């Protein structure tokens, strides 16, 4: 990659500001899913083993306007201490004289976790003065928060104006390598599998991918807007009327470029989300009073047939309302089809990760990205502030 990486950063005797994404779910003062914490452990161990100390920073949740005990990183500090097998004290704040004194007192091999960055509104405003205060806490900067790299926040972008060198952490490197492999030199055929509720969330992604992929498979709620664009009646299924022309344009662009764009041929319909079961109907037979909540068995077979010859697969978004057991089968079956394909597969987004875990195939996916928004924006071809801000490699 063209940016400075952690392995090339001199570390011994230095205080290293590590921006991580420790935005983990917390219930009753306990971290309930430590996936994101585990993901940053290799970077932390690398820095500590090299004889440096770590000033660790993250956000948690969306506190409004100031400190809120509900969003304290204390539970994260406790779980990190267990994972690292060393103390991880929590600073009283992320800036200020007390925090600065604690950071300056760090010895090699020690870690200090700063309190939630978003307790200060200046963080999300990319405020230069706030960034300068963060920069005073360390000697160099490492960004290992790819999941937040699409945000121009003070601890991600502005801080690098005051704290150099700024390097990519090990997780950031893995994310960029995996996604770069898709966009820059994919083994073909390259198939993109998109789901989720809304076309509007993925308009830019669809338009960008049509120029790069060999096949595009669309399921989930967003498929109904495409089906409506083709003239199908879809009952009470989710449709974005203002996006029908967008969908029609994407279908035409795919046709012109010779990209195979595959849509559902049958769906599971029911009266509503609370229905105890659904039934499969063809897309021409969706009752006016019912809605499609999952792809049907014929569509599962059709999608699996498209994925089978692929050599690179990128997937974001479930095929239906998979969090409801009656409508999970399509997403689970597609997850297994992705795992079974002889392809390098990359998935991203919380729902997609949950789907492969539900299907029991996470260990058979080529790369599971920790990111959601950053994953999509990178695939859209957009520059990510957190990556752009890093020091160029010599």
Q: What is the pLDDT of residues 246-268, one digit of tens each?
A: 999 999 999 999 999 999 999 99
Architecture of 186-379 per CATH? 3-Layer(aba) Sandwich (3.40)
Q: What is the pLDDT of residues 50-93, one digit of tens each?
A: 999 999 999 999 999 799 999 999 999 999 999 999 999 999 99
pLDDT of residue 286: 98
Name the token pair of 67: 């400190």
Answer whether 6-172 and 186-379 agree in fold.
yes
Which residue has tokens 């000033």?
55
Give the predicted TM-score (pTM) of the model: 0.87
User: Buried b / exposed e across 86-116, counting CB within 10 Å, b at 16+?
Assistant: eebebbebbbeeebeebbeebeeebbbbbbb
pLDDT band (50, 70, 90) for residue 1: low
What CA–CA distance (Å, rounded) separates 370 from 33? 13
Going 356 to 359 to 363 to 364, the CA torsion angle's sign is negative
Q: Residue 129 in 3-state DSSP?
A: helix
What is the Rg, in whole angstroms, of the alpha carbon atoms belonging to the chain?
Answer: 23
What CA–CA distance (Å, rounded) separates 33 from 44? 19
pLDDT band (50, 70, 90) for residue 373: confident
Active-site residues: which are they? 36, 198, 350, 373
Weakest mean pLDDT among 6-15, 53-62, 91-100, 179-188? 179-188
DSSP code for 115: P
pLDDT of residue 21: 96
Alpha helices, H only, the chain: 35-49, 74-84, 97-104, 128-135, 170-183, 203-210, 222-229, 244-257, 297-307, 329-340, 350-359, 373-379, 385-388
Q: Does residue 7 register a pLDDT over 90?
A: yes
Query: Which CATH code is given to the segment(s) 6-172?
Result: 3.40.50.1260
Q: Which residue ranges make up each domain of the chain?
A: 6-172, 186-379
């Amino acid at each position: 990659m063209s940016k400075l990486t952690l392995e090339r950063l001199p570390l011994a005797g230095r205080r290293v500001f590590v921006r991580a994404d420790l935005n983990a779910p917390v219930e009753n003062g306990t971290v309930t899913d430590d996936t994101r914490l585990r993901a940053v452990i290799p970077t932390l161990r690398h820095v500590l083993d090299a004889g440096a100390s770590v000033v660790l920073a993250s956000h948690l949740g969306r506190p409004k306007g100031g400190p809120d005990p509900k969003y304290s990183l204390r539970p994260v500090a406790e779980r990190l201490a267990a994972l690292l097998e060393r103390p991880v004290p929590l600073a009283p704040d992320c800036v200020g004289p007390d925090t600065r004194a604690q950071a300056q007192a760090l010895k090699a091999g020690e870690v200090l976790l700063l309190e939630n960055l978003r307790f200060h509104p200046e963080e999300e405003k990319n405020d230069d003065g706030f960034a300068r205060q963060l920069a005073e806490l360390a000697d160099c900067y490492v960004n290992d928060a790819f999941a937040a790299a699409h945000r121009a926040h003070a601890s991600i972008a502005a801080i690098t104006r005051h704290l150099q060198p700024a390097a990519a952490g090990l997780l950031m490197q893995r994310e960029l390598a995996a996604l770069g492999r898709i966009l820059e030199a994919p083994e073909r055929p390259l198939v993109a599998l998109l789901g989720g509720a809304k076309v509007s969330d993925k308009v830019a992604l669809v338009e960008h991918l049509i120029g790069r992929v060999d096949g595009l498979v669309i399921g989930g709620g967003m498929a109904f807007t495409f089906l409506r664009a083709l003239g199908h009646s879809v009952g009470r299924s989710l449709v974005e009327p203002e996006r029908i022309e967008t969908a029609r344009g994407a279908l035409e662009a795919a046709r012109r470029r010779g990209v195979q764009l595959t849509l559902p041929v049958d769906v599971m319909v029911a009266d509503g989300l609370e229905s105890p079961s659904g039934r499969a109907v063809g897309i021409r037979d969706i009752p006016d009073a019912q809605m499609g909540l999952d792809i049907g068995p014929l569509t599962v077979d059709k999608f699996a047939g498209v994925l089978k010859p692929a050599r690179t697969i990128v997937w974001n978004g479930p095929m239906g309302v998979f969090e409801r057991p009656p409508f999970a089968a399509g997403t689970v079956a597609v997850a297994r089809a992705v795992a079974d394909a002889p392809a390098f597969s990359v998935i991203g987004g919380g729902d997609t990760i949950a789907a492969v875990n539900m299907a029991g195939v996470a260990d058979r996916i080529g790369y599971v990205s920790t990111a959601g928004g950053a994953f999509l924006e990178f695939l859209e071809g957009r520059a990510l502030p957190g990556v752009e801000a890093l020091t160029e490699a010599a």
